[in-house]
Amino acid sequence: MMSNRAVLVMLAAALGMGAPHPAAAGDTDPEALVNALNAVFGANPGKRAAHTHGFCVKGAFVPSDEAGKLSKAPHLSGKGPWPVVARFSMGGGNPEAPNTQKDNTRGIALHIDLGQGNQTDMVLISAPVFVAKTPAKFLELLQTVASKDKDRIGAFFKANPESTLQKSWLNARRVPASYATTSYFGVHTFTLTNAAGAKQIIKWKLIPKAGEVGLSDDEAKTKDPDFYRPELVERLARGPAEFDLTAILGQPGDARDDPTAFWPEDRTSVVMGTLTIAALEDDTVCDSNMFDPTNVSDGIEGPANDGIFQIRSPAYAVSFSRRNQ
Ligand code: HEM
Q: Is the CB of 138 under 6 A from ligand 1?
A: yes
Q: Does the active-site annotation cover 111?
A: no
29 CB-near residues (< 8 Å, 6+ apart):
18
- Sort strands 54-63 and 269-280 into parallel, antiparallel or unpaired: antiparallel
What pLDDT, in 10s, does the model give residues 279-309?
Answer: 999 999 999 999 999 999 999 999 999 999 9
Q: Is the CB of 87 under 6 A from ligand 1?
A: yes
What pLDDT, in 10s, does the model give residues 180-199?
Answer: 999 999 999 999 999 999 99
3-state secondary structure of 136: helix
Spacing, Cα 293 to ligand 1 middle (Å): 9
Q: What is the pTM of this model?
A: 0.94
Residue nearest to atom 27 of ligand 1 (CA): 130
What is the model's pLDDT at position 2? 45
Spacing, Cα 269 to ligand 1 middle (Å): 25
What is the model's pLDDT at position 204? 98
- What is the sign, positive or negative, of the torsion defined by CA atoms of 245, 111, 115, 11? positive
What is the model's pLDDT at position 27? 82
Inter-axis angle of helices 307-323 and 135-147, nearest 10:
60
CA distances from 145 to 92, 93, 296 (A): 12, 13, 33
Q: Which domains does the chain have, with CATH numbers?
A: 52-308 (2.40.180.10)
What is the model's pLDDT at position 25? 52
Regions of the chain with pLDDT less than 50 = 1-6, 8-9, 12-24
Q: Is the CB of 179 under 6 A from ligand 1?
A: no
What pLDDT, in 10s, does the model give residues 229-247?
Answer: 999 999 999 999 999 999 9
Q: How many residues does the chain have?
A: 325
Q: Which atom of ligand 1 is nearest to the CA of 87?
A: 40
Q: Is the CB of 135 under 6 A from ligand 1?
A: yes
